[in-house]
């Protein structure tokens, strides 16, 4: 550890000690754990150091460079303390879904901050949830269809292996006891020779089987109409929408009644304009703006994230491409290409998901590469004899980067890979750096 790192480490230990002795501080009460830690860095003056400033900048910049993923999603990754890392992911979610975000850490006592953001305005994302200091799962009911973003960031000087899992499920319970949970007609299907669209889902079942309250709430109306026949309206507690149960054979709940999740509100039938159809429940959801698709609210099918097949033994390692390949914006082969990589291109692996690695190029660009397209750099591409009188070896593939060492003419090095007009080499003393081709 260098002198600067040692000084920062002493400051951080002091922060932790003060925090443990003083307990909860009112100043931090409304802040997320991530924001609390940032304030502690600032209070200790660490935001004026290169390391502290790099941590703060990493947290902000990660939101701007978030990678796209699809839900459900699972990855195992590694944060290297020496790199001051942060990672962010963007995904779309639909009103009515319940998102669960879980992180398992190694070592379990390490501090890893997890935040969820709503991304309606790309210039001003809004934090809507955070994991506590124990990293208990975040469970969040989606109120607005759109883009969401999560950020992961460890504390300074901590290396952490983690497994991130994001799943989605219904925010409401299924409204019938039908074992088959048979939905026979969906939102938007044509009705009356396509004169109107179906504003709900039809769930088929046996005559006079119970129709259930999908949430705790209040029965706001019990009435009859030509289309729905015998209907019941239920307003879930704290929500901006109302549940609509139609075609009931009998209404059990009464107007103004407070009901609990699972209470019987009616019995399934085929009243109204469903007299000629099989027994079913028409289930709808209405907001102030009109009807919305109820399927995400009650969809009984829970998708499971794919298994991680890419070897996690390559995490935090430098690999190279086997042949010409693609860096994708999503971990799937049909995703959009970020860039095309030539054979022998050097990448650093930070996470594994499915058959893909999350890979960072030497210029900082990050995306996903099929794990089968990468190999270790232990076997060099070639041996190279230095011809220049003095060959500079850079810390990064950039002529303005720091010079790690100088090679003399006649020395032999191993070429581990390439990036643009540079070669990654290892000298006879196993010192690694970049030289101009």
Does residue 304 lie within any of the structural domains?
no
pLDDT at 384: 95
Task: Indicate the pTM of the whole model.
Answer: 0.87
pLDDT at 388: 87
pLDDT at 26: 39
Q: Which tokens sit at 263?
A: 């209470």
Question: What average pLDDT score do residues 95-104 get?
Answer: 96
Range(s) of the domain holding residue 325: 312-376
- Residue where the block lists tokens 């010192």: 431
Question: Cis ω on the peptide bond leading into residue 107 (within 30° of 0)?
Answer: yes
pLDDT at 13: 45
Q: Are residues 399 and 364 in the same domain?
A: no
Q: Are residues 54 and 164 in the same domain?
A: yes
pLDDT at 7: 45
* Number of domain units in the chain: 4
pLDDT at 358: 98
Categorize the per-residue pLDDT at 121 as very low, low, confident or very high, splitting at 50, 70 and 90: confident
Q: Are residues 365 and 420 in the same domain?
A: no
Does residue 305 lie within any of the structural domains?
no
Does residue 177 lie within any of the structural domains?
no
- pLDDT tens, position by position, 45-54: 999 999 999 9
Does residue 219 lie within any of the structural domains?
yes
CATH number at residue 165: 2.60.120.380
Question: In this structure, what are the phi and psi dihedrals at residue 287, rounded to the nearest 5 degrees?
Answer: -110, 180
Q: Which residues, other chains included, contact 152 with Cβ-Cβ below 8 Å and sequence gap of 6+?
A: 79, 86, 87, 88, 103, 112, 113, 114, 162, 164
Q: How far apart are CA 228 and CA 188, in angstroms?
A: 17
Does residue 150 lie within any of the structural domains?
yes
Question: What average pLDDT score do residues 396-403 get?
Answer: 94
Q: Are residues 253 and 347 in the same domain?
A: no
Q: Is the pLDDT of residue 223 over 70?
A: yes
- Residue where the block lists tokens 């002091």: 14
Question: What average pLDDT score do residues 205-230 get?
Answer: 96
Q: Which tokens sit at 353?
A: 């998901």
Q: How far apart are CA 388 and CA 413, in angstroms?
A: 13
Please say whether the beta carbons of 214 and 263 come within 8 A.
Answer: no
- pLDDT tens, position by position, 5-27: 544 454 454 444 434 333 333 34
Question: What average pLDDT score do residues 245-261 get?
Answer: 98
pLDDT at 4: 46
Q: How many CB atoms lie within 10 A of CB 94?
A: 17
- pLDDT tens, position by position, 148-196: 999 999 999 999 999 999 999 999 999 998 765 688 777 665 455 554 5
Question: What average pLDDT score do residues 294-316 get?
Answer: 92
Distant-in-sequence contacts of 306-309, Cβ < 8 A, 24+ apart: 306/74, 306/353, 306/354, 307/74, 307/354, 308/74, 308/75, 308/76, 308/352, 308/353, 308/354, 309/354, 309/355, 309/371
Q: Are residues 87 and 187 in the same domain?
A: no
Mean pLDDT of the chain: 90
Q: Are residues 344 and 399 in the same domain?
A: no
pLDDT at 28: 38
Categorize the per-residue pLDDT at 374 as very low, low, confident or very high, splitting at 50, 70 and 90: very high
Domain final position from 328, 346, 376: 376
Q: Are residues 348 and 397 in the same domain?
A: no
pLDDT at 193: 58
Q: Which residues, other chains included, contact 10 with Cβ-Cβ below 8 Å and sequence gap of 6+?
A: none
Please say whether the beta carbons of 231 and 281 come within 8 A.
Answer: no
pLDDT at 189: 59
């Amino acid at each position: 550890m260098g002198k600067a790192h040692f000084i920062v480490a002493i400051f951080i230990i002091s922060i932790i000690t003060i925090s443990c002795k003083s307990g909860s501080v009112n100043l931090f009460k409304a802040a997320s754990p991530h924001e609390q830690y940032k304030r502690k860095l600032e209070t200790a003056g660490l935001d004026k150091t290169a390391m502290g400033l790099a941590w703060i900048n990493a947290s902000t910049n990660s939101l701007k460079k978030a990678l796209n993923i699809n839900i459900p999603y699972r990855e195992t990754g590694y944060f290297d303390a020496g790199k001051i890392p942060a990672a962010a992911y963007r995904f779309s979610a639909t009103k009515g879904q319940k998102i669960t975000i879980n992180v398992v850490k190694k070592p379990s006592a390490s501090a890893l901050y997890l935040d969820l953001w709503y991304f309606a305005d790309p210039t001003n994302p809004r934090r809507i949830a955070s994991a506590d200091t124990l990293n208990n799962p975040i469970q969040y009911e989606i109120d607005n269809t759109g883009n969401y973003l999560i950020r992961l960031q460890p504390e300074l000087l901590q290396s952490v292996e983690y497994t991130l899992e994001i799943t989605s499920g219904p925010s409401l319970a299924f409204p019938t006891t039908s074992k088959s949970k048979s939905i026979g007609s969906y939102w938007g299907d044509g009705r009356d020779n396509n004169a109107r669209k179906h504003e709900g889902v039809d769930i088929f079942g046996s005559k006079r089987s119970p129709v259930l309250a999908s949430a705790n709430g209040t029965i706001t109306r019990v009435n009859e109409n030509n289309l729905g026949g015998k209907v019941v309206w239920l307003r879930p507690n704290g929500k901006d929408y109302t549940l609509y149960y139609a075609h009931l054979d009998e209404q059990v709940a009464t107007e103004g009644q407070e009901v609990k999740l699972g209470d019987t509100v009616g019995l399934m039938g085929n009243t109204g304009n469903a007299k000629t159809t099989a027994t079913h429940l028409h289930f709808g959801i209405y907001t102030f703006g009109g009807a919305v698709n109820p399927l995400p609210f009650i969809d009984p099918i829970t998708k499971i994230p794919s298994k991680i097949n890419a070897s996690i033994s390559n995490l935090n390692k430098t690999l190279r491409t086997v042949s010409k390949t693609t860096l994708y914006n999503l971990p799937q082969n049909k995703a959009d290409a970020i860039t095309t990589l030539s054979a022998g291109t050097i990448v650093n692996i930070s996470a594994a998901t499915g058959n893909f690695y999350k890979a960072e190029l030497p210029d900082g660009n990050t995306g996903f590469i099929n794990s089968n397209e990468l190999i270790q750099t232990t076997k060099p591409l070639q041996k190279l004899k230095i011809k220049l009188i003095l060959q500079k070896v850079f810390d990064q593939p950039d002529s303005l980067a720091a010079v790690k060492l100088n090679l003399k003419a006649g020395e032999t090095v191993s070429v581990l890979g390439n990036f643009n007009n540079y070669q990654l080499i290892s000298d006879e003393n196993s010192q690694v750096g970049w030289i101009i081709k």
